[in-house]
Amino acid sequence: MIRGHLLDSLSASPELAGQRIADVGTGAGFPGLPLALAAPERAFTLIDSVAKKIRFVSHAVRRLDLGNVTPLQARVETLAPEQPFDTVVARAYAALPQLLASVRGLCGPQTRVLALKGRYPADELAQLPPGWRLQQAREVRIPGLAAERHLLSLVSQGPVPNGPAP
């Protein structure tokens, strides 16, 4: 639990940009809850379409007294906030092309999308939608965890296709 979920989630911490962070497909709150604990100065929105999961996240937020976390039950594809998020993070959400299509309504021209992956997804990267590019990829080593892990940082190359105008 600690290695596979907590430390894996925290591996994205150095790559967070800005103040407004969205965790899409948060499930039980990973990686959003550990990241919110590590960065209390940032505002986190944890999004999942499953009510039961958001009830759990809401309970955890109350128990941990996390004033910087907003749980949100919604399908991420339907969201269009007034302001784009600075960083969108996803762990075990979908292949990169589907992830980027799903989150485009959350993104502006400066948004960074962080994808926590297992094996290096060369096939997925070859299919990135137009307007997106890989900014950085780094291998993540979790002490005591033999699993292969990678953190990918993706950015738009101008206005996000079908997303908010710059």
pLDDT in tens, the chain (166 residues): 555 566 778 889 999 999 999 999 999 999 999 999 999 999 999 999 999 999 999 999 999 999 999 999 999 999 999 999 999 999 989 999 999 999 999 999 999 999 999 899 999 999 999 999 999 999 988 777 777 889 999 998 866 555 443 3
Q: What is the pLDDT of residue 161?
A: 54
Q: What is the pLDDT of residue 142?
A: 77
Q: What is the pLDDT of residue 85?
A: 98
Distance CA 98, CA 77 (A): 10
In three-state secondary structure terms, 110 is: coil
Q: Name the token pair of 52.
A: 């039961």
Q: What is the pLDDT of residue 53?
A: 97
For the chain, list the domains and their CATH numbers: 2-156 (3.40.50.150)
Q: What is the pLDDT of residue 144?
A: 76
Asked whether 107 and 85 are in contact (CB, 8 A), the reply is yes
Q: Which of 148, 115, 160, 147 is nearest to 134 (CA)?
A: 115
- Could you read off the pLDDT of 99-136 as tens digits, one per residue? 999 999 999 999 999 999 989 999 999 999 999 999 99
Asked whether 114 and 134 are in contact (CB, 8 A), the reply is no
Asked whether 96 and 125 are in contact (CB, 8 A), the reply is yes
Q: What is the pLDDT of residue 164?
A: 45
